[in-house]
């Protein structure tokens, strides 16, 4: 995020903070405490791209969240979303793609503090060791996690999730066989290699235009417990169907996460939920695409 943008966001965040605090207190008092789901990609100190967050920023973000939220698993989040009321705000930590650098400091920090985390990996990269296509396009080549690393993470309680085989834009995939391979067979291959079940699916990029209703159906039919997007948005108790979980991208400066986490009234108003029933495509996006 460029410095000027960070400054404007910081001014906006601090200027609207009193309003946010009042809204949060009212929501909690009414049993409408929100449930937030964040996602990061790569935690490393080389500032290599927009989806890399420094170890220091990540550690501060986790500390900030820990002081304000119950940090829970996706399964616990779904339970709270399906519940009738909630008095304590909750947040989830997830990662997408599967960058090897995350094993250096970020994941050990979460494991040490016993913070639940769901770690979505792209099966093709993990199984072949090939760098991610979106990095190769930029001339970058970061190592994906190995199966050995993922088995170790799972042994420490990290939930491994599926993030397709080749990280395509599923919004543009119309061929049923291709879609099935990306959503279901890739999950099965990963599950067999790790010798453990995989319960959650993450759409690559995660904005409205990258989602696909048929993929949601396949995921549900194939026994996934949930599928996550990344166009933002808050969950509240009382939602009848918590299969689709909306996440917020937390890559970048801490103020971006704080802005999301303190219930940005602008985003709350602007973001439209992706409807699984309505067959009309909704092209709305909120912010930069996640990976
Ligand atoms: Zn991704």
pLDDT for 81 equals 97
How many Å lie between the centroid of ligand 1 and the Cα of residue 144? 12
Beta strand extents in the chain (DSSP E only):
35-40, 42-43, 52-53, 70-71, 90-95, 117-121, 159-162, 200-202, 226-228, 244-245, 248-249
CB atoms within 10 A of CB 80: 23
Indicate the fold that domain 3-270 takes in CATH: TIM Barrel (3.20.20)
| CA dihedral of 34, 51, 1, 68, whole degrees rounded to 10 | 30
Whether the per-residue pLDDT at 171 is higher than 90: the answer is yes
- Averaged pLDDT, 165-187: 97
How many Å lie between the centroid of ligand 1 and the Cα of residue 142? 14
Comparing 178-182, 273-277, 279-283, which segment has the lowest mean pLDDT?
Answer: 279-283
Where helices occur in 83-212 by DSSP H, the ranges are: 106-112, 123-128, 133-136, 147-155, 176-180, 186-194
**pLDDT tens, position by position, 44-90:** 999 999 999 999 999 999 999 999 999 999 999 999 999 999 999 99
How many Å lie between the centroid of ligand 1 and the Cα of residue 202? 8
User: Domain extents for the chain?
Assistant: 3-270
How many Å lie between the centroid of ligand 1 and the Cα of residue 19? 34
Ion ligand 1, residues whose Cβ is below 5 A away: 96-97, 204, 291
CA 11 from centroid of its chain's CA atoms: 26
Answer yes or no: are the C-beta atoms of 202 and 220 closer than 8 Å: no
Answer yes or no: are the C-beta atoms of 107 and 150 closer than 8 Å: no
Question: pLDDT confidence of 289, banded at 50, 70, 90?
Answer: low
How many Å lie between the centroid of ligand 1 and the Cα of residue 148? 20
Whether the per-residue pLDDT at 279 is higher than 70: the answer is no
């Amino acid at each position: 995020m460029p410095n000027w943008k960070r400054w404007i966001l910081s001014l906006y965040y601090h200027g609207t903070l009193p309003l946010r605090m009042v809204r949060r207190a009212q929501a909690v008092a009414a049993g409408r405490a929100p449930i937030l789901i964040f996602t990061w990609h790569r935690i490393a100190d080389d500032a290599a791209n927009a989806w890399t967050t420094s170890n220091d920023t990540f550690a501060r973000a986790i500390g900030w969240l820990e002081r304000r939220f119950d940090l829970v698993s996706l399964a616990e989040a779904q339970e709270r979303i399906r519940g009738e009321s909630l008095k304590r705000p909750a947040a989830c930590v997830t990662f997408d793609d599967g960058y090897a650098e995350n094993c250096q400091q970020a994941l050990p920090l979460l494991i040490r503090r016993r913070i639940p985390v769901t770690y979505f990996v792209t099966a093709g990269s993990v199984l072949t060791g090939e760098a991610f296509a979106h990095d190769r396009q930029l001339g970058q080549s970061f190592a994906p996690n190995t199966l050995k690393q993922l088995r170790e993470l799972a042994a420490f309680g990290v939930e491994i999730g599926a993030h397709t085989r080749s990280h395509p834009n599923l919004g543009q995939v119309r061929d049923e066989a291709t879609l099935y391979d990306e959503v279901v067979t890739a999950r099965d291959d990963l599950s067999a290699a790790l010798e453990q079940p995989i319960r959650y699916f993450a759409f690559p990029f995660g904005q409205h235009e990258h989602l696909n209703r048929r993929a949601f159906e396949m995921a549900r039919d194939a026994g996934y417990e949930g599928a996550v997007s990344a166009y933002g948005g808050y969950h509240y108790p009382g939602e009848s169907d918590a299969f689709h979980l909306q996440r917020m991208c937390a890559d970048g400066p801490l103020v971006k996460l704080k802005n999301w986490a303190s219930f940005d009234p602008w985003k709350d108003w602007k973001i439209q939920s992706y409807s699984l029933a309505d067959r009309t495509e909704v092209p709305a996006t909120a912010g930069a695409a996640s990976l």
